[in-house]
């Protein structure tokens, strides 16, 4: 379905640069790519949460606090060794 999109001057110039550089073949293609990235970005928290639940349910799970404590000890020791 055709749709009109209004861009400010900075957005229009950026779109023109993307097309001139060959990154996208048309304004429609560039806008479609941007919408796809936006959808992926908005889905990211849900995907992370699903992955976390799958990991917990797999049985190979260690609480985050223990992992963070181990990282802090490891990297703290590295910082002390290499000031």
- Which pLDDT value is given to residue 80? 78
* Average predicted confidence (pLDDT) for the chain: 87
CA–CA separation, 9 and 15 (whole Å): 10
pTM, to two decimals: 0.52
Per-residue pLDDT 10s for the chain (83 aa) are 788 989 999 999 999 999 999 999 999 999 999 999 998 888 778 888 888 888 888 887 777 788 888 888 988 888 777 76
CA distances for 50 relative to 43, 44, 53, angstroms = 11, 10, 5
Looking at the chain, how many residues does it have? 83
Q: Where are the domains of the chain?
A: 9-81
Quote the pLDDT of residue 24: 95
């Amino acid at each position: 379905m055709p749709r009109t999109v209004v861009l400010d001057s900075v957005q229009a110039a950026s779109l023109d640069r993307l097309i001139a550089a060959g990154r996208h073949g048309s304004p429609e293609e560039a806008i479609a790519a941007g919408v796809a990235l936006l959808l992926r970005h908005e889905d990211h928290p849900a995907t992370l949460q699903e992955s976390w639940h799958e990991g917990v349910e797999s049985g190979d799970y260690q609480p985050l606090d223990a992992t963070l404590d181990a990282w802090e000890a490891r990297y703290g020791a590295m910082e002390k060794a290499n000031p």
